[in-house]
Amino acid sequence: MRESDILLVKGHDVGALLQGREQELIETVKLAYVAHNGGDSSLPHSTFLHFPDEPRNRIIALPAYLGHEFDIAGIKWVASFPNNLNLGFDRASAVVILNSAETGKPQAIIEGSIINAKRTAASAALAAQSLQNTPKSDSVSLFGCGLINFEIARFLLAGCPEIRRLVLFDLDETRAQTFRSNCLQTFSDIEVEIASDLRAALRSSPLLSFATTSPKPYISELTDVAPGSTILHVSLRDLSPEVILASENIVDDVDHVCRAQTSLHLTEQQVGHRNFIRGSLADVVSGHIAARERADGITIFSPFGLGILDLAVSKLVRDLGLKQERGTQIQNFLPESWGENQSVKSQIMEAR
Predicted confidence at residue 345, as pLDDT, reads: 52
Q: Provide the b/e sequence for 242-254 (b: ≥16 CB within 10 Å).
A: ebbeebbbbbbbb
d(CA 15, CA 253): 28
DSSP codes, 229-262 = -EEEETTS-SB-HHHHHTSEEEES-HHHHS-TT-
CB 22 within 8 A of CB 123: no
Angle between helices 173-186 and 147-159 (to 10 degrees): 40
Q: What is the pLDDT along the chain (352 residues), one digit of tens a residue?
A: 788 899 999 999 999 999 999 999 999 999 999 999 999 999 999 999 999 999 889 999 999 999 999 999 999 999 999 899 889 898 899 999 999 999 999 999 999 999 999 999 999 999 999 999 999 999 999 999 999 999 999 999 999 999 999 999 999 999 999 999 999 999 999 999 999 999 999 999 999 999 999 999 999 999 999 999 999 999 999 999 999 999 999 999 999 999 999 999 999 999 999 999 999 999 999 999 999 999 999 999 999 999 999 999 999 999 999 999 999 999 999 988 876 665 555 555 565 5
Q: Provide the b/e sequence for 125-139 (b: ≥16 CB within 10 Å).
A: bbbbbbbbbeebbeb
Predicted confidence at residue 285, as pLDDT, reads: 98
Predicted confidence at residue 275, as pLDDT, reads: 98
Residue spans of the domains in the chain: they are: 6-115+307-351, 133-302
CB 320 within 8 A of CB 17: yes
Predicted confidence at residue 2, as pLDDT, reads: 81
CB 256 within 8 A of CB 304: yes
Of the candidate CATH numbers 3.40.50.720, 3.30.300.30, 3.40.430.10, 3.40.50.300, the domain formed by 133-302 belongs to 3.40.50.720
DSSP codes, 158-181 = HH-TT--EEEEE-SSHHHHHHHHH
Cis peptide before 303 (omega within 30 of 0): no
Could you tell me which CATH class the domain 6-115+307-351 is placed in?
alpha beta
